Structure 1
Amino acid sequence: MSYKNYKKFESVELVNRMWPSNTITKAPIWCSVDLRDGNQSLPIPMNVEKKTKMFYLLKEMGFKEIEVGFPSASKAEFDFTRKLIEENMLGDDMTIQVLTQAREGLIEKTFQAIEGCKKAIVHVYNSTSTLQRKVVFKKDKKAIIDIAVKGVKLIKEFAKKSNVEDIVLEYSPESFTGTELDFALEICEAVIKAWKPTEQNKIIINLPATVEMSMPNVYADQIEWFCKNISCRECVTVSVHTHNDRGTGVAATELAMLAGADRVEGTLFGNGERTGNLDMLTVAMNLYSQGIDPELKIDDINHIISVYEECTMLKVHERHPYAGELVYTAFSGSHQDAIKKGLDEYNKKDNEYWEVPYLPINPSDIGREYEAIIRINSQSGKGGIAYILENEYGYRLPKKMHPEVGKLIQNVTDKTGKELNPQEIYNIFEKEYFEQDTILSLNKFESIIEDKNTNNKDVKVTVTAEVTFKGKTKHIKGTGNGPIAAFVNGIRELDIEPFKLVEYEEHSMNGGADAHAVAYIGLINEDDKIKFGIGKDSNINLASIRALICAINRHMK
């Protein structure tokens, strides 16, 4: 590899550039090119059935401008364009866009394809880049301008004879980013002069990064320079069409919008030649996350993914912004803990704004569920495991119990090297706290309050119980200031190592008449080791006793 084989892209001499100080306040005019630019880049192009399904998805999402094909390039493209018109598939507020080169036969065929359409954008282009003029066309600048102007004049003639109610011209100096700025301006001025747009009937000048050749700020400079220098700016809709060769297509588009672009062309999930076109969904979601209406219906991302994958036979990457399977999933323990705390805080209050660590948007806004946020592997932490046990199964573990349960799960993930789903996590949890081989078990239990005056701090509770200890049935009796204290005093006669109760919490599960109580008890032994037990029962006293017995068994095993 030799970096010396490549030359630096020249910067733009732009005095008092304005775009760094600008802000985006509204959505651009969107134009989907999935059915043409996206389709031509597929290993297996869409058939008519799939193109129709994709068209209806784009229509459902709210796209008003859709490039439907290059009707003069093939019979399939021509027939699909006719199908849209003849079968009245277009909405009254929709405009189809058709692509053509600046050649008479191709332009004539294009107008045949759009006959009877209410409104159409005829998109004509020719390559203007320095490199293509030199090695592909071997023509000078004047010859390249002549091609563009001749094409525009032909479109104007055919438009006069057409029965299409409203025809808009779009012109692209293809490979704009590889064209000298002054020449790009010169050829666009020639096109404007030939077409004669007005403020009511604007021309679209599309400035494509056909190949992404520079940092996105340089592209923004190019767009701002063009917007400042083009004549009759009020009669021009400036459009951008970025590719992703440097991986910054989204950034280039957003900076171009700051620089004055009115309109954006792109595809769903960035499907396109080489590394792809602009991903319009990412730009739309970026606007949404900043409190700006994207003016597209994107609240069911799973449906969009499903249709897209079926039609294109491409897969949306697991880490794709906003849409990927894993983008609302946290494996890192610290991330999981922060997400859990953020969700708890958000759900407590009537918040005006969504603010949860690591989640730039609320997943439910686009049809995702919270259940997928936390997933557990060897990199996970105690907070994520506690989140799953609470949100999937209703156990609100005491904070001091989190490390114990986290270590329990991590021992399994370290051993297997695999991710655990919620059911697998619960199975481990259940086996440890509810299904262990017991040294001590409870057979019968009864408690009696000797002093029923609840205002008396010296209230006495007597517990009688039948237990099985090390395989033998034992009858115990104890008195204390509550059922737990009384039971503890009753089992002192058994051969159980000394312990001290240091943690106790309880809560109800499910709610309603059949609600169960869950109790958590932490015991510390003479070695200062704390272990927790959990008990569940419809009676809170029994739940507490079961939690105590569970903790004792876990200490003694």
Structure 2
Amino acid sequence: MNNVEKYARGYFMPPRQSLKWAQKEYIDAAPIWCSVDLRDGNQALIVPMNLEEKLEYFQMLVDIGFKEIEVGFPAASETEFTFLRTLIENDMIPDDVTIQVLTQSRDHIIRKTFESLRGAKRAIVHLYNSTSLAQREQVFRKSKQEIIDIAVDGAKLFLECAAQTEGNFQFQYSPESFTGTEVDFALEICNAVLDVWQPTPDNKVIINLPSTVQMSMPHVYASQIEFMSENLKYRDSVIVSLHPHNDRGTGVADAELGILAGGQRVEGTLFGNGERTGNVDIVTLALNMYSHGVDPKLNFHNLPEILKVYERLTRMRVGERQPYGGELVFTAFSGSHQDAIAKGMKWREEQNPPHWSVPYLPIDPHDIGREYEGDIIRINSQSGKGGVAYVLQQKYGLDLPQGMRESLGYRVKDVSDKLQKELMAEEIFAIFQESFVNVNEPISFVRYRFQGSDDYSTIVTVRIDGETKELEGNGNGRLDAISNALQTNLGISFSNLVYKEHALEIGSGAQAISYIGVTDANGVVHWGSGVDADIMTSSVKALFSAVNNMNRRA
């Protein structure tokens, strides 16, 4: 690309690099979660939520299990202020939930923020000012010391306002644009704020280290977090919090590596809603932990319903490939993938293993409210026999013989390719019925009767070209006798009957379904199926269907 020389790495590695976090294999416990959907998420909406929508969204977050919820920037607008007062005055905040509010380090904004919090049972008051080199030079045109003074003055005012305001408050500080700040300067300003607040193990302070704009690969952010975590003052009285955005598409990786590096808390949103490319997606983070056998302490057992409410209230759309929540994330169209999934599911039924392990499915879709039918295997021109058979088995209870699966698979693939569309289960079933079930042309089955009990002599009544005929045959079994009657009287030849049957329940009554394959003189197997309340009659219909398919393709 042109003009690549105009870009340079704008981030800063720690002055002393440590990679202790890289020795850890996985996250072994859930962090403290703080939803910022009602602040970062809401301010990024084309049409921000109104009061009623915010209240409904807040309740959804509570139901999911969030214990810390940022409810807004109450000094920014009357809507934000009213929302917070509604929550407090109507006693809508559960006792085990802490609300959080945001304020810049500016005198009148801080005072207005504490005014909005009067009577709050538990609230985190989040102070921030921007510290990055670019912001200092271009926006504020201030020295490092002047930026520190802004933070320290705000921290002092926090103490004054908290003492004058009814409520129970915890303090939080963010060096906004942390990822563009010299790491030793970020440490200096955070420690200056901590010196003002004097946290204790019983009265902890949150230091939030936001990737306000992603500027580096995730391992750099992790190294920055580790340096801060190891060098902050009052460390046993400080909660290190992460607030990753997603400008480089690695918000989840930043958060995961940041937790390994010492992060104890994560601020994010459902499905990653937020400005630009969004905040870190807490759904993905939590379910990634879940897939490793770690309880995320959030409840996504009915993710489709959460997604439905989210899309209605935010007017945003979750993409089809969004991890876990997207419509297609558990869906396989590829034939080889479908075959592996179907066999994996069957293996689980047979073995009942203690842990989940199915090819291409990192977690059990049922655990988050997704259905196997219509979710996991969907059929288009790329699909294979295994997927087609799986859909018919799940939806209609059909257990097709292996060879018949291939024959049906080609027909379904051909239809999908010609129509250039995905085929629903009902359409696949219709193809199966039209192609294989009770096929009555060119030889139409009418009835049969058996004579004697030992030699299996039979008379089969058929209709060909409008003419009814009675065909006699003998065999070593009833189906063999009928098969011989067709071959002897009609001059057709086939061999190697492959037979399978099982009970089938479709609609209101139980029926039997039979599958038969016959091999023609060229070694090609032709398949047919019969459905009837009587198992013998279903077998005869299957035989006629197979013979008719052979004749139609001769």
TM-score by length of 2: 0.96
1:112 aligns with 2:122: no
1:545 aligns with 2:545: no
Q: Distance in 1 between matches of 2:483 and 2:73?
A: 84
Aligned-partner SS, 1:516: strand
Q: Distance in 2 between matches of 1:154 and 1:11?
A: 32
Q: Distance in 2 between matches of 1:14 and 1:437?
A: 82
**Aligned-residue CA RMSD in angstroms?**
1.6
Unaligned runs of at least 5 residues, structure 1 = 452-459
Q: Distance in 2 between matches of 1:511 and 1:529?
A: 31
Alignment match, 1:282: 284
Q: Distance in 2 between matches of 1:513 and 1:6?
A: 69
1:417 aligned to which of 415, 420, 429 = 420
1:7 aligns with 2:2: no
Aligned-partner SS, 1:199: coil
Alpha-carbon offset, residue 485 of structure 1: 1.0
Alignment match, 1:525: 520
**Larger CA deviation: 378-387 vs 203-212:** 378-387
Give the AA of the match of 2:70: E
Aligned-partner SS, 1:328: coil
Alpha-carbon offset, residue 510 of structure 1: 2.7
Q: Distance in 1 between matches of 2:483 and 2:183?
A: 87
Give the AA of the match of 2:125: V
Alpha-carbon offset, residue 464 of structure 1: 1.9
1:141 aligns with 2:136: no
Alpha-carbon offset, residue 12 of structure 1: 3.9
Alignment match, 2:377: 374
Within 5 A, what are the aligned runs for 1:7-86?
7-8=8-9, 9-12=11-14, 14-22=16-24, 23-86=26-89
Alignment match, 2:492: 497
Q: Residue 440 of structure 1 contacts residue 553 of structure 1 at CA under 8 Å; is this kept in 2? A: yes
Q: Distance in 1 between matches of 2:483 and 2:107?
A: 98
Q: Distance in 2 between matches of 1:65 and 1:529?
A: 67
Aligned-partner SS, 2:54: helix
TM-score by length of 1: 0.96
Alpha-carbon offset, residue 513 of structure 1: 12
Q: Distance in 2 between matches of 1:288 and 1:359?
A: 13
Q: Residue 508 of structure 1 contacts residue 515 of structure 1 at CA under 8 Å; is this kept in 2? A: yes
Q: Residue 497 of structure 1 contacts residue 525 of structure 1 at CA under 8 Å; is this kept in 2? A: no
Aligned-partner SS, 1:507: strand
Q: Residue 36 of structure 2 contacts residue 69 of structure 2 at CA under 8 Å; is this kept in 1? A: yes
Alpha-carbon offset, residue 356 of structure 1: 1.1
Q: Can you list the C-alpha shifts for 1:214-248, whole angstroms capped at 9, x where unaligned? A: 00011000000111111221010000000000000
Alignment match, 1:259: 261
Q: Residue 31 of structure 1 contacts residue 67 of structure 1 at CA under 8 Å; is this kept in 2? A: yes
Q: Distance in 1 between matches of 2:511 and 2:12?
A: 71
Alignment match, 1:471: 466
Alignment match, 1:506: 501
Q: Distance in 1 between matches of 2:14 and 2:78?
A: 43
Alpha-carbon offset, residue 524 of structure 1: 1.1
**Larger CA deviation: 128-137 vs 1-10:** 1-10
**Larger CA deviation: 123-132 vs 411-420:** 411-420
Aligned-partner SS, 1:374: coil
1:536 aligns with 2:539: no
Change (3 A) 1:2 1:449: farther
How many pairs does the alignment contain? 548
**Larger CA deviation: 238-247 vs 100-109:** 100-109
Q: Residue 38 of structure 2 contacts residue 54 of structure 2 at CA under 8 Å; is this kept in 1? A: yes
Q: Residue 503 of structure 2 contacts residue 510 of structure 2 at CA under 8 Å; is this kept in 1? A: yes
Aligned-partner SS, 2:496: strand
Alpha-carbon offset, residue 10 of structure 1: 4.7
1:555 aligns with 2:550: yes
Identity of aligned residues (%): 51
Change (3 A) 1:285 1:210: same
Aligned-partner SS, 1:370: coil
Q: Residue 130 of structure 2 contacts residue 177 of structure 2 at CA under 8 Å; is this kept in 1? A: yes
Alpha-carbon offset, residue 350 of structure 1: 2.6
Q: Distance in 2 between matches of 1:283 and 1:76?
A: 31
**Larger CA deviation: 248-257 vs 487-496:** 487-496
1:271 aligns with 2:285: no
Within 5 A, what are the aligned runs for 1:105-254?
105-164=108-167, 166-254=168-256
Q: Can you list the C-alpha shifts for 1:445-466, whole angstroms capped at 9, x where unaligned? A: 1235523xxxxxxxx3222221
Alignment match, 2:332: 330
Give the AA of the match of 2:34: C
Aligned-partner SS, 2:126: strand
Within 5 A, what are the aligned runs for 1:415-454?
415-434=418-437, 436=439, 438-448=441-451, 450-451=453-454
Alpha-carbon offset, residue 282 of structure 1: 0.6
Give the AA of the match of 2:226: E
Aligned-partner SS, 1:353: coil
Q: Distance in 2 between matches of 1:433 and 1:511?
A: 17
2:356 aligned to which of 350, 354, 357 = 354
Alpha-carbon offset, residue 162 of structure 1: 1.4
Q: Can you list the C-alpha shifts for 1:82-123, whole angstroms capped at 9, x where unaligned? A: 000000000001111111111121111111100011111110
Q: Residue 439 of structure 1 contacts residue 471 of structure 1 at CA under 8 Å; is this kept in 2? A: no
Q: Distance in 1 between matches of 2:185 and 2:134?
A: 13
Alignment match, 1:90: 93
Unaligned runs of at least 5 residues, structure 2 = none
Q: Can you list the C-alpha shifts for 1:289-321, whole angstroms capped at 9, x where unaligned? A: 111111011111111111111111001111110
Aligned-partner SS, 1:371: coil
Q: Distance in 2 between matches of 1:142 and 1:20?
A: 34
Q: Residue 27 of structure 1 contacts residue 293 of structure 1 at CA under 8 Å; is this kept in 2? A: yes
Aligned-partner SS, 1:118: strand
